[in-house]
Amino acid sequence: MTNTATAGRLFEPFRLGPLHLPNRLVMAPLTRNRAGADGVPQPIMATYYAQRASAGLIIAEGTTPNAVGQTYPDIPAIHRPEHVAGWRRVTDAVRAEGGRMFLQLQHGGRVGHPDNSGLLPLAPSPVPLPETIHTPAGRRPSVVPREMTADDIRTTVADFAQAARNAVAAGFAGVEVHSANGQLLHQFLSANTNHRTDAYGGEPAQRVRFVEEVVRAVAEAIGPERVGLRISPGNTVNGIDEGETHLIYPALLDALADIGLAYLHIIFADPDQPLFQELRRNWTGTLMANPRLGTALPDDAGRAAGERLLAAGADLVSLGRGFVANPDLADRLRLGAPLARVREGDLMYVGGEAGYSDYPALATAGQSA
């Protein structure tokens, strides 16, 4: 195949707060289960992320801000000094390749298990995950989480703020607060997981309160220009049923409007959906959008869907699985070069180099750029 250079808005530079991004293509956070059992990032993670440094921005995988927030085995954390030191090795390696990184802060809430964290999960209400959960001993039945008290809420907000400070100390340019995919913050937003009768439950305008408090605390800790927020309106993963989706997210954006965040990140974004269009109109800051592609990637790894989102008003486009098999995805898409496919088999979450850091770049694969 002959490579031909291709133009497109994905490859335009973009200013994100203090960061100069060489292109608008963001590597989305991807859980890969390559940390140690103690949550410390391993050297292989530095190799993996450095290979992908040509992305305009890398958002590192969901990382727990405290022990009880751990979801699955071998998930990285950012609440102890050894976590900070492990992540510092990763950010140093990415910077050496010219890259830029944010860290996603992810608290699992009811998406957790004592076999993973050693603790009973916390959640807005004592509503268990309606499915089994992966543990070191295999899949186990989920447990009923403990309903968070007012003290638990205050402590968790403070833990997010400290995790953000730790992320900056580890060399990240900023953090993304994860309020999507059925994790803790999403559980507060959703009617079927939030049965509270206090100020954090009830009407949508009250269910957004916990997310607002976390985001404000993180922004106060490290500066709003270093903070993004990820949402997934209408997403039912992990047993979520939001109810009143059309009311929740406008209320959330209204609550956050005065903070001046670095970006809002909408996943599974559809430019034809009225809610996406409304959120774009209401959000005056940078909008990052992630298209719904599924596991069977299109031949262009999502480029066409990304360009559609940019045409519909997004400023940045995040892609996930395309970066798994193509560490130099931005360069390949820009050049019109051949794209590798994710290899068959369950290598996403098993640890080790296979299906992780062993995908070659163009030059290594013998292709001419």
> How do the domains of the chain map onto residue ranges?
9-335
Confidence at 344, pLDDT banded by 50, 70, 90: low
Rounded Cα–Cα distance for residues 98 and 109 (Å) = 35
| pLDDT for position 3 | 39
pLDDT reading at 162 higher than 70: yes
Question: Phi, psi (5° rounding) for residue 123?
Answer: -155, 170
Q: Which residues contact 130 (CB under 8 A, 6 or more apart)?
A: 142, 239
Q: What is the pTM of this model?
A: 0.95
Pairing of strands 174-179, 138-140: unpaired
Class of domain 9-335: alpha beta
Question: Is the predicted pLDDT of residue 327 greater than 60, yes or no?
Answer: yes
Question: How far is the C-alpha of 208 from the C-alpha of 289, rounded, in Å?
Answer: 21
In three-state secondary structure terms, 315 is coil
Q: Would the CA dihedral through 91, 95, 97, 99 be positive or negative?
A: positive
Amino acid 90: pLDDT: 98
Element (DSSP H or E) covering residue 267: strand 263-269
CB atoms within 10 A of CB 220: 13
Q: Give the least confident one: 11-20, 123-132, 348-357.
A: 348-357
Where does the pLDDT of residue 369 fall: very low under 50, low under 70, confident under 90, or very high at 90 and above? very low
Q: Which of 141-150, 211-220, 355-364 has the lowest mean pLDDT?
A: 355-364
Q: Give the whole-angstrom CA distance, residue 110 versus residue 124.
A: 9
Distance CA 222, CA 165 (A): 6
